[in-house]
Structure 1
């Protein structure tokens, strides 16, 4: 079952889906898990898929739209601000603690792709999380820097900010090509990029609130955000990481192992799904099923 909910972040509201078990009884006390969506995504997509499966397993699971995106409020619209997204997560925990049927001492977090790195980063300082799960984590800073043109991007962003300060319209760019045809015409061949287009821009995973719009001037914020900074000192909670062994350009396989090796957690594991790529772990039943076979027992064992 899904309950539509809202909760506050500063002066605006975040829109969420609260997934509850089929035999939900508000007089009982449940463990709860915050589910964090990827960049450009919304709660109805892969975060919602994992939240629904966690609810079937007996957890309360909260998936929500990031600030400035989807059905959530705040502005400027289409901004991907890592610091704000991490604070979104803290606000989600605040909300869960107000629910009488949620055990405040049994709250975990699960994030997918960029949501996985935001989840790990939030857990550095959010001690109300007792267990941390991440699926195909993608660290923004690494992705941008590996493109090799970080300085060019920052120069362009600086020029755009000057233009907008002097009256130009805000520049909104697409995250990825709008259609598979557009990707092919642009000569795209990289596996993860093509799968991203297939997931987000076709009926496979498309949702009207995931509109493929990114505020260009916000890129400079994401470019310097290293989600794993201080993980070797502050990420001490039990940690479960799931990646696929089909390694694509988004680099989640490497980021998963970097996080695993760096985390200070004394209880941690990484599971590699054979034959799975980054986007298989968004919605492919076999790949996500194997991921959940790791994640559900992990949360049951640690949210006690």
Structure 2
């Protein structure tokens, strides 16, 4: 199932996306706001029959590594708006359509600040009840959302889908397969930063334009399906796997589960039962001892990337998200 951004006036790259704003329907509102001096671009989804004089719960949606607001983050934001929520999905600083140079810097401190910034913006949006603010993080956005929820108590509840612990993977390798090269890769990142500081060429990791045969030969299902999703079926020109090599200095010393016991809000973690990333969700869930209101839901048969777009699996995720947010964001101030 392809979702061609070129066929959508909002360049949305997911099936069933809004193609025009109509009275009485879910609408999409492109916005731009400042965060630490940078222009951040976002889409705000408002529910059907939206009345800015009423008060609605709102949900911040954090996109995956390499993703943009027009892909899976937008899909879930639209589905949440269909359930009566105001939802915001924004491109990370230095990525997508947002500002920041050099391009494709991917540092945890920036991604975490992006989520705080979405909360800042949406809390004063017309119709939003800032006392009923939820957080949904997908893939890498899920890992960063865990970090945000440790300290930002404006959020009343947190859900993750296919959570990806970017620090652990950049440090240890996928499935902890590169433990013996950590120091070598840190040296490579250090040299890249030194080269940047001296005015030299900016080096990038994760940048590739693979053939179908090369994609099929990748060792992990996540990367095989990821390349198909981001480079083929749901491609968007602002979306890339690329990140500056020097970003690894920050990524490799960070971990989504550090101080995770500070999360004391309701927590829902969703992942595919067949996902090769499931170990990251299970690890974080076990370590999240600061909340007794928590649930781990495995979507039977789903891989990591399939939770982004397969209707059956998206429906299963929404089947958990709807009652979770209804319960945790219903009463103002709770």
Identify the TM-score tier after normalising by the shorter chain: over 0.9
Deviation at 1:183, TM superposition (A): 2.7
Deviations 1:69-125 (A, max 9, x none): 011112221000111111111111111121231001000000100100111110111
TM-score, normalised to structure 2's length? 0.86
Distance 2:212 2:248 in 1: 24
Deviation at 1:176, TM superposition (A): 5.5
Distance 2:211 2:314 in 1: 25
Distance 1:190 1:212 in 2: 15
| Alignment partner of 1:257 is 2:311 | no
Distance 1:93 1:283 in 2: 26
Counterpart of 2:202 in structure 1 is 170
Counterpart of 1:194 in structure 2 is 224
Q: How is 1:9-88 mapped onto 2 (pairs within 5 angstroms)?
A: 9-88=35-114
Deviations 1:223-259 (A, max 9, x none): 1111111112x100001110111132xx2x1121122
SS across alignment from 2:129: strand
Deviations 1:115-155 (A, max 9, x none): 00111110111000001000010111221212222211111
| Alignment partner of 1:214 is 2:243 | yes
SS across alignment from 1:15: strand
Distance 1:28 1:180 in 2: 50
Contact 1:33 1:109 in 2 (8 A): yes
| Alignment partner of 1:89 is 2:115 | yes
Counterpart of 1:160 in structure 2 is 192
Contact 1:2 1:20 in 2 (8 A): yes
SS across alignment from 1:201: helix
Distance 1:301 1:19 in 2: 21
Distance 2:299 2:257 in 1: 23
| Alignment partner of 1:238 is 2:266 | yes
Contact 1:179 1:197 in 2 (8 A): no
Distance 1:245 1:212 in 2: 24
SS across alignment from 2:143: helix
- Which 5+ residue runs of structure 1 have no aligned equivalent? none
Distance 2:53 2:156 in 1: 23
Contact 2:203 2:245 in 1 (8 A): yes
Distance 1:7 1:163 in 2: 32
Deviates more, 1:206-215 or 1:86-95: 206-215
Deviates more, 1:175-184 or 1:74-83: 175-184
Q: How many residue pairs get matched?
A: 297
TM-score, normalised to structure 1's length? 0.94
Deviations 1:30-51 (A, max 9, x none): 0000000011100001111100
| Alignment partner of 1:225 is 2:254 | yes
Deviation at 1:179, TM superposition (A): 4.1
Contact 1:114 1:139 in 2 (8 A): yes
Counterpart of 1:281 in structure 2 is 307
Deviation at 1:211, TM superposition (A): 3.2
Counterpart of 1:112 in structure 2 is 138
- Which 5+ residue runs of structure 2 have no aligned equivalent? 1-26
| Alignment partner of 1:140 is 2:140 | no
Distance 1:76 1:165 in 2: 12
SS across alignment from 1:212: coil
SS across alignment from 1:19: strand
